[in-house]
Amino acid sequence: MRSVKIFLDDTRDAPLGSFCCVSTYEDCIILLSAFSNDVEFLDLDYYLGENSKYSGFDVLVFMKEHGIHPNHINIHSSHETGAPRMLEYIRKYFPNSPNTYSVSYTIHLFTCISF
């Protein structure tokens, strides 16, 4: 099966590249479930909008509960408490997945999948 790169954010544009772009927790979970063993890169925001009862942190909890371990996890959130909490969780429960932290994405034009 082909590997996938997933970008989750409700407002930011994804970086240049062949990312599957989703804006909700639910859509991210659909992709993670479909490609559970083939997630090359997962790029998460913490805050997913005022109408969402979920956050990027909840995506990490879902992955832990379902044994999904992306090859690389990036957090691109500027949330003061959410981003550090996510990084701590990743380092504890996904020790074999390299992780990075970056806040600013300004490049546009990428492959997006909408559900």
Residue 47 covered by a domain: yes
**What band does 1 get if pLDDT is binned at 50, 70 and 90?**
low
User: Cβ(64)–Cβ(93) under 8 Å?
Assistant: yes
Give me the CATH number covering residue 32.
Answer: 3.40.50.2300
- Is 114 within a domain? no
35: helix, coil or strand?
A: coil
| Number of C-beta neighbours around residue 42 at 10 A | 30
**Domain total for the chain?**
1
- What is the pLDDT at residue 67? 95
**Is 84 domain-assigned?**
yes
With 0-12 / 13-18 / 19 or more C-beta atoms within 10 angstroms meaning exposed / middle / buried, residue 81 is exposed
pTM: 0.85
Given a cut of 90, is residue 110 above it in pLDDT? no
Inside any domain, residue 97: yes
pLDDT digits (tens, 9 = 90+) for 69-87: 999 999 999 899 999 999 9
C-alpha–C-alpha distance, residues 77 and 30, integer Å: 21
Domain that holds residue 23: 4-101
Please check whether residue 88 lies inside any domain of the structure. yes
In a domain, 45, yes or no: yes
